[in-house]
Structure 1
């Protein structure tokens, strides 16, 4: 098993993973320690060996070489190491060989495949029990228990330690992955919140200021195109009035955006009680274009709707009047508001549809998008487009119709 990101050296076109520096240290330390013990004549079995003393160096050297690749091919290393440690039992023995084998068992569990990590502890545990029972039956002496304990110390306990460390690493990796996912979801939520807030601010800015700027554009065009002092003076008066009101609306919006306790408290959100003033302002701005305005308010007297519904309805009427002043042909603009207790609030604005004489302000289409978004946030329905006119009226009209729920159970923000 090759470690991810392991560096390699090249020899004749064959790629060999480079050993980890910790593994190199373990291999060198184990080999030097074993050579020191061998040179001092400190063997693990003394004079009970079947082979001469120099043969203990063979398993020692093999085990040190295996330490170099303990992370790269853990299962293969464990199999070869098992053969080496068994062979060491026929030599005078070296404690360094046994210690390095224990490390190979640990590495096989820690760096091996999940299947290897599951099988090695079970296998070494069964071997430890089998060795203990076998020596008890052969020697019939309590010293067999000590042999079983030593076998477990160099095989079973390193495997269990590897399982514990591996589980901790897996848990840490899982926790880190969950933290990264949580951070990613939080960033997505933050981005969506920013986008939603920007859209809300865009709607408010458009609805609050577009009406005044449209009136300014239309009347300034009229003042420039007509060579009449009285008409120009009247247009300049409308321009001044709308510029002052637009500036006040901008200041109120800036006050809402400021995060300072020293600012004045923001003005309350407009309600349907302000429709009369809104229509009166439209009469002042649209009178020179041949437009008349009529309000038909058929709501139940004294009924109060949730603030998001009233704000949405007010803004829809405001934007519809702005569009009528900018684009409608001469004629009547009718605003109808109806609703009863527990019933949806229906807002309808109709205006003459056709070619318009005189100055007109350009449109961007953002107003219709803003109205659709407001209605969608309240789970209502919205329609806007040309329609057949009423009997005795213009042949075609532009009709804006919004149906807003009463919101008895919930009140989402507009």
Structure 2
């Protein structure tokens, strides 16, 4: 992750090495060609000592962009030793450069500490001169020199770093927004895939399961009239499955036609419940319908109720063939649609355990009920299996 200017504009190793060599060259020139003396008359040390100090002062500059904080910590005592040995401009140049690099290239903590340390060191140096009894002229000269040496690089680097820091913050915000958008896209794709799988499971898979059961019943039915009735139901389920598959493919090609993902013209409703019950009876179930016709049900709630009953009957056909089923549809207070599908269990407790195994169908019913603001319960109830749903009739309102 990008944090500093160094991350944006990395410097090669030879760049820092070149700056260090330049500092050594300045130190050698100041000792031989153009001698420079410090404001306080300090007896110079031996030339080899001063040359060694110049090399030592320049050495930390090899870390000026990679580890600027460490380089600054190393150069401060070396610069003080150089001043005590007679002063060389090389130490001032190295200190100025490393203060600048620590603020500009250092981490946020290093930059912040250096911006505090520069003025503190400046104030400390002036206070030390004042306490030592230095003259006013020396104090004024030292104040200007110290400002250029300790305050200017810190201020300059801070001004250069500020827009870079703002640009980095904007870049990180943009990257975070891109990551969030990617996660949203993945979630949207996952939701769409789950919706498609639910539609296939509830519509086409239900019809195919009914066709398989009814075909088996037709093969075992000796009476021609009964066989003809069962085969008629098989054909009806086949046609209905083809219609719903065609509608689902159309939705995938052109986009959903509503909240349910099915065009309103082909979506089944509670009004189609008698045909669904007849299909279940043709598959060998004993189905009893209890309740009054429910009118003025919003489209999404109407489709959800139909799909819940369809899935419940399909589960009974698969897990408890030949069971007796009671389907109840009604209202509660005019604002809630009530659904209840109760069936007998096949082989007692064993049948109950087998029925519990149909997790995807039950979970799909719960998801459908929750999508319109309702709730669904499914589980063993005494010696029977019960599916009960409460769907608010305003669940399909915009």
TM-score by length of 1: 0.72
Cα distance in 2 for partners of 1:122, 1:290 equals 90
Is 1:81 the counterpart of 2:73? The answer is no
Contact 1:378 1:405 (C-alpha < 8 Å) held by counterparts:
yes
2:57 to 57, 63, 67: 63
Partner of 1:203: 198
Secondary structure of residue in 1 paired with 2:263: coil
Partner of 1:249: 244
Contact 2:280 2:287 (C-alpha < 8 Å) held by counterparts:
no
Partner of 1:26: 19
Total equivalences in the alignment: 367
- How far residue 46 of structure 1 moved from its aligned partner, in angstroms, is 9.7
Partner of 2:282: 287
Is 1:402 the counterpart of 2:389? The answer is yes
Superposed CA deviations along residues 22-64 of structure 1, whole A, max 9, x for unmatched, are 332211122124334544x212239977337946534422222
Contact 2:214 2:282 (C-alpha < 8 Å) held by counterparts:
no
Is 1:191 the counterpart of 2:171? The answer is no
Partner of 1:371: 365
Contact 1:37 1:43 (C-alpha < 8 Å) held by counterparts:
yes
Cα distance in 2 for partners of 1:297, 1:66 equals 90
What is the aligned-residue RMSD (CA, Å)? 4.0
Task: Tell me: CA distance 1:83–1:200, structure 2 relative to 1, closer, same or farther (3 Å).
Answer: same
TM-score by length of 2: 0.74
Secondary structure of residue in 1 paired with 2:292: strand
Partner of 2:264: 268
Structure 1: runs of 5 or more not aligned:
1-18, 357-361, 389-395
- How far residue 294 of structure 1 moved from its aligned partner, in angstroms, is 2.5
Structure 2: runs of 5 or more not aligned:
1-11, 349-354
Superposed CA deviations along residues 381-405 of structure 1, whole A, max 9, x for unmatched, are 32223446xxxxxxx5433210123
Q: Which is worse superposed, 180-189 or 126-135?
A: 126-135
Is 1:216 the counterpart of 2:211? The answer is yes
Is 1:385 the counterpart of 2:372? The answer is no
Cα distance in 1 for partners of 2:252, 2:182 equals 22
Contact 1:333 1:352 (C-alpha < 8 Å) held by counterparts:
no
Is 1:340 the counterpart of 2:329? The answer is no
- How far residue 126 of structure 1 moved from its aligned partner, in angstroms, is 1.2
Superposed CA deviations along residues 156-198 of structure 1, whole A, max 9, x for unmatched, are 2123334445666665665555555444444433333333322
Correspondence list, 1:107-256, <5 A = 107-109=101-103, 110-111=105-106, 114=110, 116-127=113-124, 130=127, 138-141=134-137, 145-164=140-159, 175=170, 177-226=172-221, 231-256=226-251
Task: Tell me: CA distance 1:81–1:156, structure 2 relative to 1, closer, same or farther (3 Å).
Answer: farther
